[in-house]
Every structure is written in C-alpha cells, then in structure tokens.
Amino acid sequence: MARASPRKRQPVNYNEDHKDDDLDRKPSKANGLAVKAETKPIIEKTTAVLKRKAEPETKPREAPAASKKRKTKTSADDSMPLAERTAVSALKKAMYIGAHVSAAGGVQNSVTNAVHIGANSFALFLKSQRKWDNPPIAPEARDLFISGCKDHDYSAAEHALPHGSYLVNLAQPDPTKAAQAYNAFVDDLNRCETLGIKLYNFHPGSAGSDTKAAAIGRIAAQLNKSHKATKTVITVLENMAGSGNVIGSTWEDLRDIIELVEDKERVGVCIDTCHAFAAGYDLRTPETFKATMDSFNEIVGANYLRAFHLNDSKAPFASNRDLHANIGTGFLGLRAFHSVMNEDAFRGMPMVLETPIDKKGADGKTVEDKQVWADEIKLLEGLIGMDPESEEFKKLEKELYARGADERAKIQAQVDKKNSKPAKKKK
Ligand SMILES: [Zn+2]
Ligand SMILES: [Zn+2]
C-alpha cells in the first residue's frame, strides 16, 4: 500500500474536514414532523434529484409541490421535511441511509433533524464534542428521544449511530489524560444505554510518539474496562484515513484491537468509504470493491462489520487525506457507491452521510444546506437495483463527477506538490 510520510497533526482532532457540532447551540426548528412512507418509484426521484442538483447553486431552490400546499402552516420552512422518508420495505434491498445530524439543544432534536432530511438512520454527538465536562442527559430529553424514535419508527438500537468525541484518545499513555479519556468514553456508552442505542462509533486513537503495538494494547484495555462498566452497547471502531500516528487505517490495526477485546460481542467496525480509499483500499470498480471487502472479511471478519460512513473523497487514492466529498463528485465516484448500495451483506446497517453541506449564502456567510443530504439519501436509495450499464446511471455518474472536477484538481495539485518535495530535497 502506498503511504505518505507522517505529517504533523493537531493532537486531538484527527479530521481535516469534519464539521463541528455543539449541543449548546440553539435547536433547529425541525420539530413535530408528520412523515408518510414514500411510495413514488425510486427512478423518478433520482431523476428529480439530478435535475435539482444541476441548477446553479446560487439560485434559490423552488419549494417542492408538497410544501407549497402546506404554506398556510407557518413561514418556518425549516419545519417542513426537505424530503419524505422512503419506506425501507419499498427498496429492493433494506438499506438504512441517513446522515450525521445535529443534536443541538438536546439529543431529542437529532430525531426530528433526521426526519427533516428523510433519513432512515442517523448519527449524532451525545454531548458537546469540544468539552470534557457535560451535564448528564436530562430525563425530559431522554424521554423525548425515546418517544421520538418510536413515533417516527426509528430503531435506536439498530439505526442510531452516535459518534464519539474527537477529544477522546483511548491510546493516551499519560495516566491522568487516559483516565479523562476513559471517563468521557464510558460516559458516552452510558448515554447510549440510557437512550436504548446499541452501536457507538469512535475513532480508535493515536499512538503519539509510542509504538503502534503499545497503543493498540492500551485501546483494547480501555475497551475491556468499558465493557465491564456497561451492559449492552457495542463499541464500533472506525477505520481511519492513515495520517500521522493514527491507529485504524489498516484492517490489521482493527483486527489487532479486536483480538485483544475479551467480549467479542461488544466490538465492531464502521467502514468510512472516504477513509478506506484515502488509506489505500480501493472501491472504485466492482473488482476493486470486491477485493477490498474480501480483504476486510479475511483480515477482520465480516461478522464485525456493523455500519458505514458514506463519503466520497476530495483527495486521490492512498493520499492519506481525510477530505469528504459529496457522493459521486470525488475520486471514488458513483460506481463505488453503486457497489456499496447493492451489497446484500450490508443490509440493515446504519449508513451515514458525513458529506459537506456548507454553502455560501447571499450575504457571504456560510450556511448549512440540509437539502444536500436529503438529495444524497434519495440518490443513494436510487442506486439500489439500478443497472450500472444503463444510460440513466451513466448520465448520473458523469454529471456528478463533472461537478467535482475543480475540487479534485485542487486537492490533486496539493498532493502532487507534497509528493514532489522529498525528491527535490535529495542531494
Ligand atoms: Zn469519524
Ligand atoms: Zn473523515
């Protein structure tokens, strides 16, 4: 596998492109939505998504027909779903596609935010990921989360996938800092159990100046301790893009951690498609997708795979850079996601988008356009059962790939420049 030399990194944030989320922020207005099961044919919707996406991004979107009818309600457009949820039973394969939504204002808001974008699964932060000390989940927030999941037919156990705090490094060697990391970690696991959530996704950690083996040993020891302190939650290791001394960019790292975990029922893996690709695991063609999954199954084991983060990559293959792109616009391309969406073995798992949704508003300020996720969910659902040789697929693939051309060229140039440096320095 091609690997770039380790770069200097910030000690706590392993990500270049993950957006912050803060539970202290004001809640979104997307509350109290009524959601009907989607019955429209998927192909029709995919075409509609493509048409909508093809519009210039500066132009305000036309309100969809459904929301026009409900105009009487209020002026708060935020309270109307950006897309209706697809009934998973209407899909050719039971794929639960969603996004990492905001839980600002309380965990209960993640449910309404998921409904808002037509998501069938969702990720969230269980507390502010920028602070070590957080108040416990309020009983009211807990009850609203549980009743919200019930009302909107989400299985919190199966399809809510919280993301761990970026502050936590379970490989931390310093005893005081290790205790702090462990306490924050196990606090999250307890929050999961309070909310009826079964899967908890986190970044394995960073070795710092220590050896990988020692770091892996410490991660596993912390996991074992946390499993004994809790009852049911499954700790799900996320694969990483492979920068610096970060653990988890190879299947072997994940295997080695799992090997040291005593209760194998309590550990799993979440594959981030962007991270895998950046780490040197190709997914672009049906053949490379198969080879990558075969190697995962052989080295880690198919039974440990629990979830996906669905992200395209702004950075080229094996560049070790963690830069998420919108689906089909990055170096992975739409064919990779067609392979993922049509893999029987992935049915039932939460598949969460962490793609960029920041747009420049008319006033020059950055705003989040959640329509992007609503559209990407429909796009991915539309790939299930679609013939990749069809004109429809080719058109979609070409159109999306063209949209990412400038961004790909920009990052490619950065990577090329960096790669050419060591050669120039040689005497
Ligand atoms: Zn992550
Ligand atoms: Zn990432």
- Find the CATH number of the domain harbouring 363: 3.20.20.150
* Residue ranges making up the domain that contains 333: 42-425
In a structure prediction context, what are the per-residue pLDDT tens digits for the chain, which is 427 residues long?
Answer: 444 444 433 333 334 445 444 454 444 444 334 334 444 444 455 555 555 544 443 333 333 444 433 333 333 345 789 999 999 999 999 999 999 999 999 999 999 999 999 999 999 999 998 899 999 999 999 999 999 999 999 999 999 999 999 999 999 999 999 999 999 999 999 999 999 999 999 999 999 999 999 999 999 999 999 999 999 999 999 999 997 899 999 999 999 999 999 999 999 999 999 999 999 999 999 999 999 999 999 999 999 999 999 999 999 999 999 999 999 999 999 999 999 999 999 999 999 999 999 998 889 999 999 999 999 999 999 999 999 999 999 999 999 999 999 999 999 999 999 999 765 544 4
Question: Would you say residue 26 lies in a domain?
Answer: no
Do residues 88 and 154 lie in contact, with contact meaning Cβ atoms separated by under 8 Å?
Answer: no
Distance between CA 180 and CA 157 in Å, rounded? Answer: 27
Annotation says 354 is catalytic: yes
In a domain, 32, yes or no: no
Q: Annotated catalytic, 406? A: no
* Residue 23 located in a structural domain: no
DSSP 156-194: HHHHB--B--TT--TT--SHHHHHHHHHHHHHHHHHHHH
Query: Does some domain include residue 19?
Result: no
**For this structure, is 77 an active site residue?**
no
Which of 275, 306, 321, 335 is an active site residue?
275
Task: Reply yes or no on whether 163 is catalytic.
Answer: yes
Q: Domain count of the chain?
A: 1
- Kindly give the distance from the C-alpha atom of residue 319 to the centroid of ligand 1, in angstroms, as a whole number: 18
The three-state secondary structure class of 399 is helix
Residue 25 lies in a domain: no
Give domain status of residue 228, yes or no. yes
**Does residue 342 lie in a domain region?**
yes
